[in-house]
A and B are shown apart, each in its own frame.
Chain A
Amino acid sequence: MAHMCRILAYLGEPLPAQNLLFDTDNSLVRQSYSPRMMNTFLNLAGFGMKAWDPTSLRPEDPFSYRATTLPSFDRNLGFLSSKLAPTCMVAHVRGVTYSDEAVVADTNLHPFQFGGARVALTHNGHLRQFPRMRYALVDHVRPELAQRIEGTTDSEWIYALVLSQLDDPYRVPETRELADATAQALRILRSVRAANGIDTSSPVNLCLSTGSALVATRFSFDYGWYPPEDEMLETDLPFVSLWYAIGGEYAEHNGDWQMTAGDPPRSVIIASEPLTTDHSSWLEVPEYSMLTAELTPSGLEFETRDLDV
């Protein structure tokens, strides 16, 4: 069962979640029913977010929210997002193929974060022929993490696989360690795909967060190769999109939402699509690359690198 989604991540100055989710003319919630960079699919299978607020009780734990309700009709989400001003957030609207085989359920909603773990993950993409490789991944996932997989998605397995590459899945990893674990998880996926004869396009745009750092990938296995009758062909022909805006703060000026200049930068947004129809303050993440961002006392440290796995 294939699925395509939209993801959003934010790290920086405290910012009302409402600004990111609702207020802009291509906000994440709008991308659920009117995505601009996605052919043939809408993202109607639910919404989820994790938001870290250092002024909240137990600041290391994020606010968690997920619902299979369409987010544009979700008043609770509207109320909540108008009161939250996180310094870090990851959010996701889920899209699945229009089929009675799709499982629209709370347990399949991103971001995934096992209890006690400090890392959350969202995924935009899908591993083609996942049922053929699912159980081969067991060998690469810590048993106690494999037991905690509740849903039916490939994404939750990717999450468990990334956590399994960390020295300790229950502490906050260094940004570099999380980036390396993510790259290692992709290498394992590549080898398991090869061992099972899977060689068709499988986009893996990931966004992982610890509350003080983000790691994101714009990546695909075997990009450009599809089964001829594949239902997701038209959606997958373009490389799955990912954009970022980096600077001082995300703010509205004269009706336009823009990332202000900031040197050194203090805030970054990473999203499947720019949150505004005007892209001039956004940059496209290069294909096959990884972004890392970390809040430090001297500002936001940000890096882009080629992802050759």
Chain B
Amino acid sequence: MSDGSTAGFLATVPLLEGRSESDIADLARVLRRRAVPAGETLWRQGEEARELLLIVQGAVSASLHAPGGRVVEIGRAGPGEMVGEIALLDGGGHTMSVQATEPATVLALGKADFAALLARQDPATFSLKRRLASLFTARHREQLRHLAASLGGDVVDLPREVAARTFAELEYCGPPDSRYLRRMATFHDFDPAALWGFLTSGRYARCPPGRTLLAEGAPSKACYLTINGAVEKVLIRGDRRIRVGLAGPGKAFGYETLIDGLSSPVTAITRERSLLLVLPREPFDQLFHREDAISRVFLDVIQRDLVATLRQSLRPHARLAASV
């Protein structure tokens, strides 16, 4: 495949929509094309990530290795889709093993080139970050659907009214101690003025333990960022309750609805008394769609959270597969 035909393919990749022709041409020059025979393992779970792959032709499957030698297929990817970016973004090992299920052609983008692509501050990069957020949200929903299917049973409706009431009755308060905020790992890398702009975009609210903030199947009224305390994200089926994540300090939740317009994929309940930054739809939309330093902080916070969420929500998959 020549640079020209690679560029032609890249122009059709939804993730890269909005990139200029010269951007696409630059990207085409750093991508490495590889033909992969059916059955070849592209990487194993836990291995250090050196590149992500864009699939040009064929298909790959992503599988989770669970204790006892069990293997669970979590998803498949085909032409125009991407695999391997989670480990590149968080620096951890690959979350799953990836294998070609049929002869495939892939384009490999190295770690440094991917980082460079995300480091720019032009409109195309903001657009890329928004598309990544949408992609990861869709992938997270798929993981949860997979998990819910293995649990069986129906969604419990009760939390919907409770969550709406909680939102209406939130007890708003002043902002937290800035000395604490500056030490939170989530915010270490950000420019202080931009960070402060983000942290003052919403309102702070205190919530006692045991309060339902989101209901699976109902739209979320806000995006929340935990400042203090902890919020459990759970799937409830009958009398079974599976925790799919814990949003402790610096972790966000409730943003899926605001990104894709669908209902909340989880129920969220405060486990500890919590102090939350609450961003209802309007400030969320402004932060998500603007293209300035404050929005950059926000998009990076959401992206990191989604990456961590995708990794964290594999835990119950592994436990169920291991059945211990």
A and B assemble together: yes
B27 at the interface (CB under 8 A from A): no
- Contact of B272 (CB < 8 Å), options: A224, A280, A302: A224
Tell me whether A246 and B250 are in contact in the complex, defined as CB-CB below 8 angstroms, given that A224-B228, A224-B274 are known contacts: no
Specify the chain B residue showing the minimal Cβ separation from A248. B68
Known: A224-B248, A239-B248, A302-B324. 5 other contacts (CB 8 A): A223-B271, A234-B183, A237-B250, A259-B67, A280-B66
A247 at the interface (CB under 8 A from B): yes
- Contact of B246 (CB < 8 Å), options: A234, A265, A287: A287
Q: How many chain-B residues does the 8 Å CB contact rule pick out?
A: 32
Cross-chain pair count, CB within 8 angstroms:
84
B185 at the interface (CB under 8 A from A): yes
- Contact of A237 (CB < 8 Å), options: B45, B67, B93, B249: B249
| Inter-subunit contact A246/B324 (CB<8 Å) | yes
A143 at the interface (CB under 8 A from B): no
User: 1/0 contact trace for B288-304 toward A, CB 8 Å?
Assistant: 00000000000000000
Specify the chain A residue showing the minimal Cβ separation from B319. A283
The A234-252 residues at the B interface (CB cut-off 8 A) are 234, 237-239, 245-247
User: 1/0 contact trace for B47-77 toward A, CB 8 Å?
Assistant: 0000000000000000001111100000000
The B228-265 residues at the A interface (CB cut-off 8 A) are 228-230, 243, 246, 248-250
Complex interface: chain A residues within 8 A of B69 (CB) = 261
A277 CA to B48 CA, complexed, in Å: 10
| Inter-subunit contact A286/B243 (CB<8 Å) | yes
| Inter-subunit contact B67/A247 (CB<8 Å) | yes
Complex interface: chain A residues within 8 A of B185 (CB) = 39, 234, 237-238
A257 at the interface (CB under 8 A from B): no
| Inter-subunit contact A265/B180 (CB<8 Å) | no
Interface residues of B (CB under 8 A from A): 45-46, 65-69, 93, 177, 179-180, 183-185, 226, 228-230, 243, 246, 248-250, 271-274, 315, 318-319, 322, 324
- Contact of A224 (CB < 8 Å), options: B45, B229, B315: B229
A226 CA to B229 CA, complexed, in Å: 10
Specify the chain A residue showing the minimal Cβ separation from B242. A286
A74 at the interface (CB under 8 A from B): no
A60 at the interface (CB under 8 A from B): no
| Inter-subunit contact A281/B46 (CB<8 Å) | no
Complex interface: chain B residues within 8 A of A233 (CB) = 180, 183
A286 CA to B316 CA, complexed, in Å: 9
A253 CA to B90 CA, complexed, in Å: 30
The A254-282 residues at the B interface (CB cut-off 8 A) are 259, 261-263, 265, 277-282
Write the nearest CB–CB distance from A256 to chain B, whole angstroms. 11
Tell me whether A225 and B315 are in contact in the complex, defined as CB-CB below 8 angstroms, given that A278-B46, A302-B324 are known contacts: no
Closest 8 CB pairs of A and B: A261-B68, A280-B65, A228-B180, A228-B179, A224-B229, A278-B46, A228-B177, A224-B249
Tell me whether A229 and B179 are in contact in the complex, defined as CB-CB below 8 angstroms, given that A224-B274, A247-B68, A259-B67 are known contacts: yes
- Contact of A225 (CB < 8 Å), options: B179, B184, B229: B229
Write the nearest CB–CB distance from B181 to chain A, whole angstroms. 9
Chain A interface mostly: loop
Tell me whether A283 and B228 are in contact in the complex, defined as CB-CB below 8 angstroms, given that A224-B274, A228-B180, A237-B248 are known contacts: no
- Contact of A280 (CB < 8 Å), options: B45, B229, B243, B273: B45
The A204-229 residues at the B interface (CB cut-off 8 A) are 222-226, 228-229
Write the nearest CB–CB distance from B67 to chain A, whole angstroms. 5
Write the nearest CB–CB distance from B301 to chain A, whole angstroms. 15
A288 at the interface (CB under 8 A from B): yes
Write the nearest CB–CB distance from B251 to chain A, whole angstroms. 10
| Inter-subunit contact B324/A283 (CB<8 Å) | yes
Complex interface: chain A residues within 8 A of B274 (CB) = 224
| Inter-subunit contact A223/B248 (CB<8 Å) | yes
| Inter-subunit contact B67/A283 (CB<8 Å) | yes
The A289-306 residues at the B interface (CB cut-off 8 A) are 302
Complex interface: chain B residues within 8 A of A238 (CB) = 185, 248
A291 CA to B226 CA, complexed, in Å: 28
Complex interface: chain A residues within 8 A of B319 (CB) = 283
| Inter-subunit contact A262/B272 (CB<8 Å) | no
The A6-52 residues at the B interface (CB cut-off 8 A) are 39
| Inter-subunit contact A263/B229 (CB<8 Å) | no
Q: Of residues A229, A283, A284, A288, which shows the largest number of chain B Cβ atoms within 10 Å of its Cβ?
A: A283
Tell me whether A277 and B46 are in contact in the complex, defined as CB-CB below 8 angstroms, given that A224-B249, A228-B177 are known contacts: yes
| Inter-subunit contact B248/A262 (CB<8 Å) | no
Complex interface: chain B residues within 8 A of A281 (CB) = 65, 67-68
A281 CA to B274 CA, complexed, in Å: 34
| Inter-subunit contact B46/A265 (CB<8 Å) | no
Complex interface: chain B residues within 8 A of A259 (CB) = 67-68
A39 CA to B248 CA, complexed, in Å: 16
A238 CA to B308 CA, complexed, in Å: 12
| Inter-subunit contact A224/B226 (CB<8 Å) | yes
